[in-house]
Chain A
Amino acid sequence: MPSHQDIQFSKVELARYNRHIIIPEFGLEAQQKLKAAKVLVIGSGGLGSPVLLYLAAAGVGTIGIVDFDRVDDSNLQRQILFGVESVGQPKVEAARRRLEALNPHIEIKVYDTLINSQNALDLIRDYDAVADGTDNFPTRYLVNDACVLLGKPNVYASIFQFEGQVSVFNYRNADGELGPNYRDLYPTPPPPGLVPSCAEGGVLGVLPGIIGSMQASEVIKVITGVGEPLSGRFFIFDALNFETRTFKIKRRDDNPLNGNNPTIKQLIDYEMFCGMKVVERPVKEITVQELIQWQTLGEKFQLIDVREPHEYEAANIGAELIPLATVVDNAGRFAKDVKVVVHCRSGVRSAKAIRELEDKLGFDNLYNLKGGILAYLEFENKQITI
């Protein structure tokens, strides 16, 4: 990598970055460091959007974007990189176009791929810093471990509903002291299903804007050495009551990556580590077409919706509402003498409900509605439009 002192700016660039350069603590040198830097942003969704926009605007010389996803209508509530015209396109391509339009003086590299144990080290190796804006536990641990193995700082942020978290992991300060990483903070992931995700629990659209902007700010501090990065500290923000708290975190002797007796020396299977590979026992299913046939024929059955009350209020198909967390307590409301069709949004929660009732209470008359209410509504719409 060329030394940042060799970095030159055109007149146009100097004008563009003027408001940085005139900050006494920042100056031309920090701007040179930004232009010399390579930052990999993993995930270009809610958090990645503000991170990418601000890093591009700030003049980070090389920005890599990893995302395998396509832009969906439901992204636009918070993923401000994208507009209606991007729906259906690869996120990395839509992001590249937006960022190149914002700043033509930087290089954007895109990786339209799923980051995994096979490619993570190669993806991250050429970069100076990583910003983790991913959306699931296996990838959080994967990115953390890859950064620790490669010695790269990992600027971390995460969001749920109204709450956000930020920290800078694996950061070596000017004195050569290494800060904690994600495994020091959270040694093990929660078992699947115990912690709800944003897809189930939702997220306030502006929250990733707030938290992602902080993440971008920390990336800039890590690269330029200006200020004190959020290393060894863990910041949380609750938008609901506007409370912020910053905790102290430390490296742990028992960290399996870089504690006293490291046991993880290469990337592992993170879905296995997070308990995602447990093969779930299949449950009996019925399709929307079969359900409608039952209704038409007047067959006797009970229909139960295990979503949350607010989801039920927004749209329902006349089922009885028994949210997933309460099904065992309300097992008495499930019929035993007729077939019971259980549904949720897409079929995941209702399958969980059925397994729980079968395992704990011996039910054998429960049927999962394949594709959930989404499939039902889609089928009905098709019927109407035909």
Chain B
Amino acid sequence: MATVIIPTPLRKFTNNTAKLDIAAGTVEEALLDLSANYPDLKKHLFDEGGHIRTFLNIFIGEDDIRDLQAGKTPLHDNTVVSIVPAIAGGSTDGYH
């Protein structure tokens, strides 16, 4: 089972669960599995074309999956998958 770490902004879609153990073969399968269990999470993980969103960074251990095999990166037992979205700070709109 790989462990997926859910970032603070997305925890409201996972009943405030910060870590989930998921049995999946690849990163993409793990994210699809998450989306199936928490449907509200899906639009935050995948765009309309079904691609992993580009303002999300996904790391396996210390490494960016874009430096590995992207969504097809295999997961092993005890792999730690970190989802790290872009966060900007306090403002709700535009420059201010």
Residues of A within 8 A of B (CB): 43, 45-47, 68-69, 114-116, 133-140, 158-163, 165, 185-190, 192, 194-201, 203, 234, 236, 238, 240-241, 245-250, 252, 270-271, 274, 276, 325, 348
Contacts and interface: CB of A to CB of B under 8 A. Distances in A.
A243 B53 CA distance: 24
A185 B57 contact: yes
Contact of A238 (B8, B53, B87): B8
B8 A161 contact: yes
A190 B59 contact: no
Contact of B88 (A140, A161, A185): A140
Contact of A200 (B18, B44, B53, B92): B92
A165 B86 CA distance: 9
B91 A247 contact: no
Given A136-B88, A140-B88, A158-B88, A163 B55 contact: no
A168 to B, nearest CB: 17
Contacts of A115: 95
Contacts of A161: 8-9
Interface of B: 7-9, 12, 18, 40, 43-44, 53-55, 57, 59, 62-64, 66-67, 82, 84-96
Nearest to B63: A248
A325 B40 contact: yes
B72 to A, nearest CB: 18
Contacts of B84: 165, 234, 236, 247
Contact of A135 (B62, B66, B86, B88): B88
Contact of A197 (B53, B59, B88): B88
Nearest to A241: B18
A139 B95 contact: yes
A250 B67 contact: yes
B92 A186 contact: no
Contact of B55 (A162, A190, A200, A236): A190
A116 B87 contact: no
Of the candidates B12, B18, B66, B90, the one having the most CB atoms from chain A within 10 angstroms of its own CB is B90
Nearest 3 pairs of A and B residues by beta carbon: A135-B89, A135-B90, A198-B90
Contact of A199 (B8, B92, B95): B92
Contacts of B91: 135-136, 197, 199
Contacts of B87: 158-160, 163, 165, 195
Contact of A136 (B44, B59, B66, B89): B89
